[in-house]
Amino acid sequence: MPADALLALEPRKTPVQARSAVTVQSISEATIQVLLSQGAERLTTTRVAERAGVSVGTLYQYYPNKRSLLFAVLENHLNKVAARVEAVCESARHKPLAGMIQEMAEAFVDAKMERADISVALYRISTGLGGPLLVKQVGQRLRRAVEAMLGTATDAKSPPDKFAVEIMLSAMGGAMRSLLEAGSNPSPATVRKAREQLVLLCQSYMAAATAKRV
Share of the chain residues as helix, strand and coil, in percent rounded to the nearest 5: 75, 0, 25
pLDDT for res 122:
85
State whether 13 and 52 are in the same domain: yes
| Number of residues written out for the chain | 214
Residue from 53, 60, 22, 173 nearest 109 by CA: 173
State whether 187 and 157 are in the same domain: yes
Angle at 57 between CA 54 and CA 62, to 5 degrees: 85
Whole-angstrom distance, CA of residue 112 vs CA of residue 119: 6
Domain count, the chain: 2
Whole-angstrom distance, CA of residue 207 vs CA of residue 107: 19
Range of the domain at 37: 3-67
Rg of the chain over Cα atoms, rounded to whole angstroms, equals: 19
Query: 56 lies in a domain?
Result: yes
Q: What single letter denotes the amino acid at residue 148? A: A
Query: How many Cβ atoms sit within 10 Å of the Cβ of residue 42?
Result: 10
pLDDT for res 57:
93
CATH number of the domain bearing residue 140: 1.10.357.10
pLDDT for res 126:
82
pLDDT digit string, tens, across residues 123-176: 888 877 777 888 888 989 999 999 999 999 999 888 888 899 999 999 999 888
Whole-angstrom distance, CA of residue 187 vs CA of residue 111: 15
State whether 60 and 82 are in the same domain: no
State whether 119 and 34 are in the same domain: no
pLDDT for res 6:
46
Q: What is the pLDDT along the chain (214 residues), one digit of tens a residue?
A: 454 444 445 554 555 455 678 889 999 999 999 999 998 899 999 999 999 999 999 999 999 999 988 998 999 989 999 999 999 999 999 999 999 999 999 999 999 888 888 888 888 888 777 778 888 889 899 999 999 999 999 998 888 888 999 999 999 998 888 887 775 677 888 889 989 999 999 999 999 988 865 4
